Structure 1
């Protein structure tokens, strides 16, 4: 086990010393919740249940006039196997190994190893390697994401000090404000490196999010918030200290990334900006803007930006509902309607990120439409269309592309 993995597991175990008061519990043994077994021991003082996640993707790129564009392909985007449960009732743990990957060439990494303490009302202390509640695309479960991939700016900003599999320790909280239905969510973390990415073990940063559900009325919900992240020590390995911002074209069937700032010698970097979301009748809206700044070792300090807006509308079934725990919008419940099994949802998103600085870097903009079908709570089928453009700094030709992506996803 590498020292980075040991660091994540040490953080995860550091919170497990307190013992809450015993409470009455159901009989020990194996109990089934549908197809999911749960093992109970020590009068409920220890529980364990398996976790399984499978996302199988296929994608086809076309409409590329310039040579050397994106390649079509297939990918096991997520192939996760693990376990989760509770210890002494107020502690929860999760361990997950990733057999899938971001690209067809990326398989077999630790995805999550964390422990959390929820014995404080309205707050959870979490430590280990996990996905941080920073930016809407990361704050909720990935199975609730309406598009095949997170927006470009979410991955670019999250790469500094948050994202998935990040070694971190922090606190997450939520609660009510006044008596008119307003609610708040907040999170703050001290972070290290990413479990699946090489670094010199000294990467350090901070990340956080704060949102307020300001209006909560029948048919109208309005939420506003701020997200921020700072990388104090890049910890690049191998090579000198540097920051490199890049992402895939919101479809992970090819390893090429044309949205790329190139490596920038730097001592630190930060990203910050507002978010807003709403549910107006059946329609769910969301928008995020982030400024990304790099403290370059020499020359001018680059300043980048990116944003996205998206809209979701149910075609069959109920609209999305807000999660009080994460301050995000949960996938629609597959209750069915008029004899149609499950829930059917239509979504659209426009996202753009500009990483150009002088003669290097690029800008990418993508318009996306998606159709989601949730036949059951554990199954999702999705079809997505993209129309994008990559503009390369230095006067190179724009690279247009179109793509169709398909996904079959199962979550246990």
Structure 2
């Protein structure tokens, strides 16, 4: 059996295999669709049976990370390290033509995890015009950072405010059922996207089955022209049952320093006994020629059992510019901007910058984290991404005397990612 590094090297080699037209035994060129059997798109096989009523193809995703922290002026800070951030193996396809399915197992994970776990199991009804009904454990279309594939993220990790908000009722591997839709508006060619879900706990988190929540996202592409695309949106989430077990129901908001090679999280609200919580706020994204910009703001409110109700907020703004190759293109199904296509013998190169901040302070507890990030993404092929980023951040911890304790840090992060 290959080790994780060996598996990654094998997949990086597969990423360099050029795509070739469907070529399987018994395949013909007759019109009307592909025949049953096994066909290949580069290294990606697809099995088709029942004249297309059933299809299956394997999925594989590997993200290998390395991170080095420095410039820390306080002892006990973040630690450098390496991490197999994602090592996902699964299958997806169609059933009876009108249903799609996906199952994924996670063999990697965040720094403290050294075990595998269930990640995704979903089924969707896709025959409705402009709409999909989805149920199971999956990644919800809520917040720009989660609405699309993590392979399309411009930085190694999502902005901290996205993870804080998603922890309430959405995010990845969330037990949920809901509907996702998109369509045209009038004759101007602009498009709308909307999604709504009822949610439970996180499938990979034990004893979390009592969580209950509602999640929604609505966006509209107000301007759509070759020179300018402008999109507005609103994201909202509510948790009605924290469902924490064992112990009393409570909410704890926290996140990593937008790099996951260490288990420490100084951005932490602490545990709050609560009946529920909600988060809401606008998103804005635009493409000006090749330049892409995106921003999001969220208010987070906790309904505490006793004492004051904590109120928090966070936001980010980011920009991406292609140094070579095409710019990012909008996905109509998710209303997000996908990674640039790899073009030319050397692929595509992209430069990104982001500022993000989250304030989880309440009285003498909690923290505020602010991070500047600059990233360089190289896509040698459409299946392979090599990324490097620099971070400069500060975490202000609320002290017992009411004054903040600032923990400054800098970091270099590297990633090699493969997506089958």
Map 1:55-134 onto structure 2 (within 5 A). Answer: 55-134=63-142
2-structure distance, mates of 1:146, 1:324: 19
1:351 equivalent in structure 2:
356
Q: TM-score scaled by structure 2?
A: 0.91
2-structure distance, mates of 1:383, 1:201: 38
Map 1:259-338 onto structure 2 (within 5 A). Answer: 259-336=267-344
**Residue by residue, what CA displacement relative to the aligned partner does 1:246-268 show, whole Å, maximum 9, x if unpaired?**
00000000000000000000010
2:29 equivalent in structure 1:
none
User: Does the Cα contact within 8 Å between 1:267 and 1:296 map onto a contact in 2?
Assistant: yes
User: Does the Cα contact within 8 Å between 2:398 and 2:405 map onto a contact in 1?
Assistant: no
* 2:380 corresponds to 1:372: no
What's the Cα RMSD here? 0.9
2-structure distance, mates of 1:393, 1:381: 37
Deviation at 1:28, TM superposition (A): 1.3
1-structure distance, mates of 2:297, 2:77: 28
* 2:175 corresponds to 1:167: yes
- In the alignment of these two chains, the number of paired residues is 386
**Residue by residue, what CA displacement relative to the aligned partner does 1:151-178 show, whole Å, maximum 9, x if unpaired?**
0000000000000000000000000001
Deviation at 1:102, TM superposition (A): 1.9
Deviation at 1:33, TM superposition (A): 1.2
1:154 aligns to what SS in structure 2? helix
**Residue by residue, what CA displacement relative to the aligned partner does 1:281-331 show, whole Å, maximum 9, x if unpaired?**
110000000000000000110000000000000000111010000000010
Report which stretch shifted further, 26-35 or 220-229.
26-35
2:161 aligns to what SS in structure 1? helix
1:292 aligns to what SS in structure 2? strand
Q: TM-score scaled by structure 1?
A: 0.92
* 2:197 corresponds to 1:189: yes
- The unaligned stretches of length 5 or more in structure 2 are 1-31
2:346 equivalent in structure 1:
341
2-structure distance, mates of 1:319, 1:269: 38
- The unaligned stretches of length 5 or more in structure 1 are 1-23
Map 1:141-156 onto structure 2 (within 5 A). Answer: 141-156=149-164
2:235 aligns to what SS in structure 1? strand
2:227 equivalent in structure 1:
219
